[in-house]
């Protein structure tokens, strides 16, 4: 989410790509299983994070492995993985591994980001130790309120121009399924608790992942202090805001599939059947467009929108995945009006929703009742 997928905003808001906001520098000794990967598709180069799960197997996000614009698996020869190093400026040839095969979880739904996981098979083994994945027998690790460590190489804020060279880590908390559904409903209404988990750094709401961290881990610690990966970074909210949940693919969903590939690669076991999921830009319904308009305006205008009255929408379709809405509302003595266009797009190898707008506002009393309309200042904000 390359990075963590985001869902909506001029910066992706439900997109599939994600560095750690509100975190701090981390050493490779603290997180020896972290892996940095770069790839290239027809739409350009991208970067993601991942973890070593076996000497020749790297786990990452599905959108880091599949070109969601074409539905094609990223060619192995365009991929490279760095392990055993925390600062990207210090990468040596010995840290770099080539990739012989890229695989995507066979049930990956690129439009909804369900099953967002992928594997990279290395041409030669890395010396970095693997991290264990939580499976079905580890249900206790998925309890709400559990403290998790998140890590990756990605943007340190939603409007940053460059990602840091140094590996970042932070702490957050696992949320209940009910809380995840409630907190994601405006920007990601297809959250599925059997397939995904979500996190928030309560009560501070200052830490989260962003573009460039996609594929990075959410790490829990068992009763003996052993680190275990419980999630793979998949989706972030508008502008990578840490006030919105981060969504992860559950490791117990994919651990069986990962285990079969580890057995095939490392032990000569049977190779699992390969199925390439279909990718497409999803259809944008009018009702969904209105939800996204509300989410976007609420994010950018805050209480000036969320506490307003007389909200009105008039939406027209511009394309299968694009809708333009005329909007108006009243709040704090001001009348607001303008247009908002919401659309799905494929950016950085992920499907995300985005919006742009022109919103005007003027003091209601001055404009309609003062008798001096020409002197009333009309304000305008664009995105």
pLDDT at 13: 35
- pLDDT confidence of residue 40: 74
Tokens of 71: 């539905």
Token pair listed for 189: 């209404």
Q: Cβ distance 205 to 242 under 8 Å? A: yes
- Are β-strands 132-133 and 227-236 bridged in parallel, bridged antiparallel, or unpaired? parallel
Q: Write down the mean pLDDT value for the chain.
A: 86
pLDDT of residue 111: 74
Q: Is the pLDDT of residue 82 over 70?
A: yes
Handedness of CA 197, 257, 3, 131 (dihedral sign): positive
- pLDDT reading at 323 higher than 60: yes
Residue 164 has pLDDT above 80, yes or no: no
pLDDT greater than 60 at residue 98: yes
Structure-token pair, residue 184: 């994601």
pLDDT grade, residue 245 (50/70/90)? very high
Structure tokens at 381: 């904000």
Give residue 351's pLDDT: 59
- Residues 228 and 221 sit within 8 Å (Cβ to Cβ): yes
pLDDT for the residue numbered 83: 96
What b/e sequence results for 190-225 when a residue is b if at least 16 CB atoms lie within 10 Å of its CB, and e otherwise? bbbeebbbbbbbeeeeebbbbbbbbbbbbbbeeeee
pLDDT of residue 113: 86
pLDDT of residue 5: 53
pLDDT at 99 exceeding the cut of 70:
yes
Mean local confidence (pLDDT), 83-90: 94
Residue 226: predicted pLDDT: 94
Q: Is the pLDDT of residue 109 over 90?
A: no
Neighbours of 357 (CB within 10 A): 21
**Both tokens of residue 345?**
């797009």
Give me the pLDDT at residue 261, please. Answer: 97
pLDDT tens digits along 221-240? 998 999 999 999 998 887 78
Q: pLDDT tens digit string along 114-132? A: 999 999 999 999 999 999 9
In order of 88, 90, 128, 212, 250, the CA distances from 165 in angstroms are 5, 9, 19, 11, 28
Residue pair 198/175 in contact (Cβ under 8 Å)? The answer is yes
**Each residue of 2-50: pLDDT tens digit?**
445 544 433 333 333 334 776 789 999 999 999 999 887 655 678 899 9
The pLDDT value given to residue 205: 85
**What pLDDT is attached to residue 17?**
36
Number of alpha carbons in the 13 Å side-chain half-sphere of residue 231: 36
Inter-residue contact 216 to 50 (CB < 8 Å):
yes
Q: Which residue has the higher pLDDT, 338 or 19?
A: 338
Mean pLDDT of the 353-362 span: 92
209-222: pLDDT as tens digits: 887 888 999 999 99
* pLDDT tens-digit readout, 256-302: 999 999 999 999 989 888 876 765 566 788 888 888 899 889 889 99
Exposed, middle or buried by CB within 10 Å (0-12, 13-18, 19+), for 227?
middle
Give pLDDT, residue 68: 67
Across 73-96, average pLDDT: 92
pLDDT at 302: 92
Residue 33 vs residue 75, higher pLDDT? 33
Confidence of residue 206 (pLDDT cuts 50, 70, 90): confident
Query: 70 pLDDT band (50/70/90 cuts)?
Result: low
């Amino acid at each position: 989410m390359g990075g963590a997928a985001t869902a909506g905003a001029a910066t992706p808001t439900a997109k599939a790509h994600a560095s750690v906001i509100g975190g701090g520098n981390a050493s490779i000794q603290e997180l020896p299983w972290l892996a940095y990967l770069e790839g290239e598709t027809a739409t350009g180069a991208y970067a993601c994070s991942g973890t070593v799960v076996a000497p020749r197997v790297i786990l990452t996000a599905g959108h880091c492995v599949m070109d969601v614009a074409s539905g094609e698996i990223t060619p192995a020869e365009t991929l490279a993985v760095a392990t055993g190093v925390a600062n990207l400026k210090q990468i040596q040839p010995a840290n770099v591994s080539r990739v012989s095969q890229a695989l995507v979880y066979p049930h990956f739904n690129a439009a909804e980001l369900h099953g967002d996981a992928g594997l990279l098979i290395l041409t030669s083994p890395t010396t970095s130790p693997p991290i264990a994945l939580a499976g079905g027998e580890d249900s206790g690790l998925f309890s709400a309120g559990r403290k998790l460590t998140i890590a990756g190489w990605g943007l340190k804020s939603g409007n940053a121009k460059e990602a840091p060279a140094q590996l970042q880590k932070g702490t957050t908390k696992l949320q209940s399924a009910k809380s995840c559904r409630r907190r994601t409903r405006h920007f990601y209404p297809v959250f599925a608790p059997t397939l995904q988990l979500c996190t928030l750094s309560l009560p501070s709401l200052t830490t989260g992942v962003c573009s460039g961290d996609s594929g990075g881990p959410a790490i829990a610690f068992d009763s003996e202090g052993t680190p275990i990966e419980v999630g793979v970074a998949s989706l972030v909210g508008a502008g990578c805001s840490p006030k919105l949940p981060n969504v992860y693919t559950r490791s117990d969903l994919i651990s069986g599939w990962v285990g079969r590939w580890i057995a095939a690669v490392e032990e000569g076991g049977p190779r699992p059947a390969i199925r390439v999921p279909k990718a497409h830009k999803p259809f944008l319904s009018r009702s969904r467009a209105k939800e996204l308009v509300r989410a976007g305006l609420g994010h950018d205008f805050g209480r000036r929108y969320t506490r307003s009255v007389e909200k009105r929408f008039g939406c027209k379709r511009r394309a299968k995945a694009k809708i333009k809405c005329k909007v108006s509302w009243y709040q704090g003595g001001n009348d607001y009006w303008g247009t908002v266009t919401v659309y799905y797009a494929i950016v950085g190898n992920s499907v995300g929703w985005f919006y742009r707008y022109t919103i005007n506002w003027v003091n209601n009393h001055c404009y309609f009742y003062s008798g001096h309309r020409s002197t009333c200042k009309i304000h305008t904000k664009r995105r």
